[in-house]
Amino acid sequence: MPKTAFDFPQDLLDAQAALTQVQAERDTFARTLPWSAEPMPGWEGPKQLHSDYRPAKTDSPGYTPEQAAQVAGFRVRILELTTLIVAHPYWATLDGPNRIDARSALKHAHEPAAGA
C-alpha cells in the first residue's frame, strides 16, 4: 500500500478497496448482458454520412431473472459501500480543500506506488 499524505483509517481503506472491486466485478458482468434489460426488437439506423457505417442492434431478449437479480445485488452493495465511505467520520477531521484532496487520494490508495 503506498504512503499518502493522509492517515486513512483501515476500515475506510477497506471500504474503498471493496468498492473498487465490486465496481470492477459489475463492469465485467455488464459486458455479458444483453443491450437492453427488457426484451426489445433490434433496429438499424441510417447510414452515417461519409462512411459505410450503419448503426444497428440485434433483438435483445432482455435480462434473465438471475441476471436482473445479480445487477440489483451489485447496485445494493455499491450503495452500501458508497454510503459507508461518504458518511465516514474521518471526513469531519478535514477541512475544505484537504477533504477534497483526501477523497481523491483515497480513490487511488490501493494502487501501487509509482516506480514500485
Which tens digits make up the pLDDT trace of 31-80?
999 999 999 999 999 999 999 899 999 999 999 999 999 999 999 999 99
- The rounded distance, in Å, linking the Cα atoms of 37 and 31 is 13
- Domain of residue 88: give its range: 10-107
Query: Any idea which residue has 509509482 for its cell?
Result: 114
Residue 112 resides in a domain: no
* pTM of the entire predicted model: 0.83
Residue 46 resides in a domain: yes
Q: How many domains does the chain contain in total?
A: 1
Residue 2 resides in a domain: no
Residue 23 resides in a domain: yes
Residue 47 resides in a domain: yes
Residue 4 resides in a domain: no
- The rounded distance, in Å, linking the Cα atoms of 8 and 38 is 42
Q: Which amino acid is at 29?
A: F
